[in-house]
Amino acid sequence: MKKFLPPLIPLVVITLALEWMVRSAFVPGYLVPAPSAVIRALFDSRDELSAAMAKTSAAAVIGFALSTFTGVAIAVLLSSSRAIQRSFYPYAVFFQTVPIIAIAPLLVIWFGYGMKTVIASAFIVSIFPVIANTLTGLLSTDPALRDLFRLYGASAGVTLVKLRFPAALPQILTGLRVASGLAVIGAIVGEFIGGQGLGSVVDVARTQQRVDKVFAAVLLASLLGLALFGVINLISALTLRRWHASEQAS
Amino acid sequence: MDLTIDAGEFLAVLGPSGCGKSTLLRMIARLSVTNGGRIVAEPEQFQTAFVFQDAHLLPWRTVLDNAALPLELLGIGREERYSKARAMLAQVGLAEAESRYPAQLSGGMRMRVSLARALVTEPRLLLMDEPFAALDEITRFHLEVQLRDLWQRRGMTVIFVTHSISEAAFLANRAVVMTRRKGGIKLDRRMDLPAQRTNDLRSDPRLGHEMKVLMEAMEEE
């Protein structure tokens, strides 16, 4: 309760203030909807919104899962040799700077309208932080421990599984936290073009001047991002609690 | 540098910072390549153990799993490695702590786990690189007595790098002082002290005399 109360207070205050400003015509309702109107839109369009939410969630989770596995695999490969790292890492960085909104139309050409394009968009946006953080983690193994493993004749594979990977886990989880939020953003952007889910709801509601519905969809998208973030935090707490300072009781 | 070390010896290596004490250990352990020189009669692989300056435990493993790690890497079965690791932990006085994690231990306890991990393979040669340098004096005294005791019971060879003169004199049967210029030996001396080393020896004039000899060799630089 102590943890939840402090952030709850500003939420209630701002919501009430916004409601008052719109009702007293301080801010026109067609620009910013009253919180009550957003709640009404959530309720009135619940079937449409929950179907859209399910699609967006599926696309974001699949895209996120893909970037987790692919990102970790690429980082392992990059960390295996300096030469590979030097030749390929610059392209990973370059890949990250490509604006997703600019290549989204291209994705539609490649994958067509629908799920595949949305998943690809979520994947592209969220993979880089996984690669970068995992790579940093894998490359910062304690040299004394590497010596120890060498002394007992451990192979590169054994050293990866028993030493480098677990030692990198805190950094990997940091990468996943960032990637989880980005996957939702990538999914929404993909849906603007690929035409489904919450992104499509926002796009259609915008053309109809339904600001309340736009806000309702945006709210759901944020909740989705929060939920993914929460799952990663839970995994982090469970795996690191015994040994890493970041998850130990302060 | 020309240095012959007999099997079963407890050798302390002293010398100024940067004189190559640690490099010497790493070359013996074959973690560094020798530069033009040769290490003759190298110990068979896996019969050597190394203790670092800090404990360097795997923080995600329990004390027991840390102590059993070398056996695990050598492919020893679960039952055997746990029973050996338990026996070793008992010898360093950590039987009670086997399911705890390194973050929950004091510095001295962590170093004892590190020692147990090194000894669990029953090495013939134990290489130690300033292992107790980061510990407080009481803990260090305690561990020194314990190490000396383990050495006597197991009949292994210990090469102990340190920059503490009192530690070298107290622990070793033979002490070598290296010169600042890489690879030279300034003094090679057998300690004229009783085999049984207890904390009483610390105030013994004979220890004081050995320390004085070592110190003079160190200061001549």
Is the CB of A145 less than 8 angstroms away from the CB of B58?
yes
Per-residue model confidence as pLDDT tens digits over A152-211: 989 999 999 999 999 999 999 999 999 999 999 999 999 998 889 999 999 999 999 999
Give me the CATH number covering residue B176.
3.40.50.300
pLDDT of residue B67: 95
Out of B121, B143, B166, a domain closes at B121
Domain annotation covers residue B52: no
Domain annotation covers residue A110: yes
Q: Consecutive 10-residue runs of chain B (221 residues): their mean pLDDT?
A: 81 82 81 66 67 92 95 92 93 89 91 93 90 86 88 88 89 87 78 82 84 83 59
pLDDT of residue A244: 83
Write the CB contacts of A152 (distance below 8 Å, at least 6 apart in sequence).
B46, B69, B70, B73, B74, B121
- pLDDT truncated to tens, each residue of chain A (250 aa)? 677 888 899 999 999 999 999 888 888 888 889 999 999 999 999 999 999 999 999 999 999 999 999 999 999 999 988 899 899 888 888 878 888 888 888 999 999 999 999 999 999 999 999 999 999 999 999 999 999 999 898 999 999 999 999 999 999 999 999 999 999 999 999 999 888 999 999 999 999 999 999 999 999 999 999 999 999 999 999 988 888 877 775 4
Give me the CATH number covering residue A158.
1.10.3720.10
Is B29 in the A-facing interface, judged by CB distances under 8 Å? yes
For A182, the domain range is 51-241
Domain annotation covers residue B72: yes
Backbone angles phi, psi at A67, to 5 degrees: -70, -30
C-alpha distances (whole Å) from A99 to each of A48, A96, A116, A121, B55 are 30, 8, 19, 11, 47
Out of B121, B136, B167, a domain closes at B121
Out of B72, B93, B121, a domain closes at B121
Number of domains in chain A: 1
Write the CB contacts of A65 (distance below 8 Å, at least 6 apart in sequence).
none
Q: How far does A235 lie from chain B, in Å, by closest CA?
A: 15
Is the CB of B56 less than 8 angstroms away from the CB of A169?
no
pLDDT of residue A250: 46
Domain annotation covers residue B194: yes
Is A149 in the B-facing interface, judged by CB distances under 8 Å? yes
pLDDT of residue B85: 95
Same structural domain, B218 and B132: yes
For B196, the domain range is 1-43+124-221
pLDDT of residue B39: 64
Same structural domain, B149 and B209: yes
Pairing of strands B174-178, B185-190: antiparallel
Residue type, B88: M
Same structural domain, B179 and B82: no
Q: How far does B191 lie from chain A, in Å, by closest CA?
A: 31
Same structural domain, B111 and B205: no
Domain annotation covers residue A11: no
Domain annotation covers residue A132: yes
Is A245 in the B-facing interface, judged by CB distances under 8 Å? yes
Is the CB of B60 less than 8 angstroms away from the CB of A243?
yes
Q: What is the ipTM of this complex?
A: 0.87
What DSSP character marks residue A4?
T
Is the CB of A152 less than 8 angstroms away from the CB of B103?
no
Structure tokens at A222: 């944020």
- Are A131 and A78 in contact, with CB atoms under 8 Å apart? yes
pLDDT of residue A57: 96
Domain annotation covers residue A46: no
Domain annotation covers residue A20: no
Domain annotation covers residue A250: no
Is B175 in the A-facing interface, judged by CB distances under 8 Å? no
Same structural domain, B129 and B111: no
Number of domains in chain B: 2
Domain annotation covers residue A225: yes
Same structural domain, B130 and B178: yes
pLDDT of residue A121: 94
Same structural domain, B96 and B134: no
Instruction: Work out the number of other CB atoms within 10 angstroms of the CB of residue B24.
Output: 25
Is A169 in the B-facing interface, judged by CB distances under 8 Å? yes
Domain annotation covers residue B50: no
Same structural domain, B115 and B138: no
Distance CA A79, CA A156 (A): 12
Structure tokens at A139: 């490359």
